[in-house]
A and B are shown apart, each in its own frame.
Chain A
Amino acid sequence: MSHATPQREALLVAEKLTRRFGGLTANSNVNLTLERGTLHALLGPNGAGKSTCINMLSGDLPPSEGRILLGGKDITGLSNHQRSRVGIGRSYQRTNIFPKFSVLENCRLAAQSRRQQPWRIVKDAVRDPDTLARAHAAIAEAGLAGREHRIAGQMSHGEQRQLEIAMVLATDAQVLLLDEPLAGMGSDESAQMVELLKRLRENRAILLVEHDMDAVFAVADTITVLVNGQVLESGDPDTIRKSPAVQQAYLGHEGADHV
């Protein structure tokens, strides 16, 4: 995987992120750098602290210590909706959409968040050309063109996962935090999603939390392995594959067959 430009631009940087729950330390001194044009995968066994980490990056959970920088600016103090406004988009492990709305309305609401204008009471929301154009573009990019008027809750699981990504795209996010987008998908759907992730990477920075080893090693530019809330190893897929520590701690058990 060496499509990256020589001058890599660090978009999102996490420094020494630590999160404690009572006496339990879920994340300890985690450092991460997400660069534009790359896909960074976060691996680790269940309970390694992946969800805690992504929740801190998206602003759903405040860190106990450490800081988060976006384009060099400290955004640690921003809440989740403020982080969305500065360009960090997130998808959830458990599908988190508006099940009763159409695909278009799901994405239209997402796009509308970029130009909220709540004081314009006389305006017809569904006729705003700019918002509609963003929504349609996001739907097309996520591969849902032609299904705009389906009711989100009635679509297949795979389509709902795609919709979730389309919603993030409609917010024009530069940093995508994707929490197990492949979970529960069939192999066809998985392959499609992997292709989608490759396309999305082009001009954005992506953090991918994923269990599917094949997928991770197929798309990731950088992999960080988290064990017991700490970074065990970080590097390109080859480094990770060859790392004795990773093999022993993680790949040795559940992942060995796949590598």
Chain B
Amino acid sequence: MNPTSQRLILPLLLAALLAFPSFGSDFYVELVAKTLVLAIFAMSLDLLVGFTGLVSFGHAAYFGIAAYAVAMITPKYDPASLWLALPAAIIAAGLAAFVIGLFVLRTKGIYFIMVTLAFAQMVFFLFHDTNLGGGSDGVNINFKPDAAIAGWAPFDLNEPGQLYYFIVAALVAVYGVLKLVLRSPFGRVLIGIRSNEHRMLSLGYATFYYKLAAFTLAGALAGVAGFLYAVLSGFVTPELLAWHQSGNVLLMVILGGMGNLVGAIAGAFAFTAMQEAFGAWTKHWQLAMGLAIVAAVLFLPGGLSAIPARLKRAMTGEEK
């Protein structure tokens, strides 16, 4: 997708998202809301994989930590304040990413993939084996966060419709933050690191700190997604941090074509659509999913976002 067509398509997509609750059924509104949460998650990972060239296979850790932060901060018989829970979730995820980043960013290539996975697994066991968050059974969040500021509530997250719009707003905000970051000198350095890290070093950039900042930011934004997921589902389990979750979000990023934020959103929708379509068809939907992934790698390098270009090439080829 080139920039001009993106500029046209984006407002249309946003309008469609905003209008959706007025004609979609409750089931589909919740499904789309869940997909939008995954889209935020995928965009945050794309900052690492697509723009900085860091293939993190442990991104679910930050998603899950934020979700657990919501669970822990919510009292048993009262809602927590949104204005406390949301920053707490983001900071917890960002802080974890910062500390883990100090370790994993010492490694490169295959090592990096394995070490990010291993650290995420460490966090998984932290919640799975200890009583920190209810152990392997997980924990309920009995009340959705309260948006009231000094008694005045601008919106109510208990209303599914309002929660949906809150999630859309978060998606727009995260997209905006990432666009801004990528346009800034900092973002340009990340893209340079992806292209040729050694050259960035010899040009005088201390790339480690840039990567650490990117890793922390990506973790914090994954925390936004984790927060929303916890609020939406009202239930948090260690499965949120499991490595399948990290694999799935990586899959979304790759499906959408890396280094493309709109692609990451499309990847999240494609993933959900595949899950629903295969799930309706067979109990063993993961088999179809696995076959689709293997076929995609073998026959479709470049992801979904490369399809238009490939079609175009195929069509102009036929016209000749």
Q: List chain A positions with a Cβ less than 8 A from chain B.
A: 58, 60, 79-82, 84-85, 90, 92, 96-101, 105, 108-110, 112-114, 116-126, 128, 167, 171
Contact = CB atoms under 8 A, between A and B. Distances in A.
Contacts of B103: none
A121 B183 CA distance: 8
Q: What 5 A-B pairs are tightest by C-beta distance, nearest first?
A: A84-B204, A113-B204, A118-B186, A125-B185, A125-B188
Contact of A171 (B187, B204, B210): B204
8 contacts: A80-B201, A80-B202, A81-B200, A84-B204, A101-B195, A109-B203, A118-B210, A125-B183
Given A97-B196, A118-B213, A171 B186 contact: no
A123 B185 contact: yes
Contacts of A126: 183, 188
Contacts of B72: none
Interface string B165-194: 000000000000000110111111100100
A85 B204 contact: yes
B202 A116 contact: no
A112 B190 CA distance: 13
B204 A98 contact: no
Contacts of A113: 203-205
Interface in B181-231: 181, 183-189, 192, 195-196, 198-207, 210, 213
Contacts of B188: 105, 108-109, 112, 125-126
A171 B183 CA distance: 21
B183 A124 contact: yes
Given A98-B192, A123-B185, A114 B204 contact: yes
A118 B198 contact: no
A60 B303 CA distance: 36
Given A81-B204, A109-B203, A118-B213, A100 B185 contact: no
Interface of B: 180-181, 183-189, 192, 195-196, 198-207, 210, 213
Contacts of B204: 81-82, 84-85, 113-114, 171
A124 B184 contact: yes
Chain B interface, >50% SS class:
helix
A126 B187 CA distance: 11
A110 B185 CA distance: 11
B317 to A, nearest CB: 22
A182 B190 CA distance: 31
A81 B184 contact: no
B189 A58 contact: no
A96 B184 contact: no
A122 B203 contact: no
Contacts of B199: 96-98
A177 to B, nearest CB: 10
Nearest to A109: B192
Contacts of A171: 203-204
Contacts of A101: 192, 195
A96 B196 contact: yes
A99 B196 CA distance: 9
A193 B187 CA distance: 33
A81 B205 contact: yes
Contacts of A109: 188-189, 192, 200, 203
Nearest to A127: B183
Contacts of B185: 112, 116-118, 120, 123, 125, 128
A126 B207 CA distance: 20
Given A121-B184, A171-B203, A171-B204, A96 B198 contact: yes
Given A98-B196, A99-B195, A101-B195, A84 B203 contact: yes
B184 A123 contact: yes
B122 to A, nearest CB: 29
A98 B195 contact: yes
Contacts of A60: 202
Given A80-B202, A81-B202, A81-B205, A121 B195 contact: no
A163 to B, nearest CB: 12
A96 B202 CA distance: 10
A85 B200 CA distance: 12
Given A98-B195, A116-B189, A90 B202 contact: yes
Nearest to A98: B195
A49 B306 CA distance: 46
Given A118-B210, A122-B184, A125-B184, A167 B198 contact: no
Nearest to A59: B202
Given A97-B196, A101-B195, A109-B192, A125 B203 contact: no
Given A58-B202, A81-B205, A118-B189, A100 B195 contact: yes
Nearest to B195: A98
A11 to B, nearest CB: 17
B196 to A, nearest CB: 5
A123 B181 CA distance: 9
A171 B204 CA distance: 8
Contacts of B187: 125
A84 B203 CA distance: 6
Given A81-B207, A82-B204, A125-B183, 4 more contacts: A80-B201, A81-B201, A98-B196, A125-B185
A178 B205 CA distance: 19
Contact of B180 (A92, A108, A121): A121
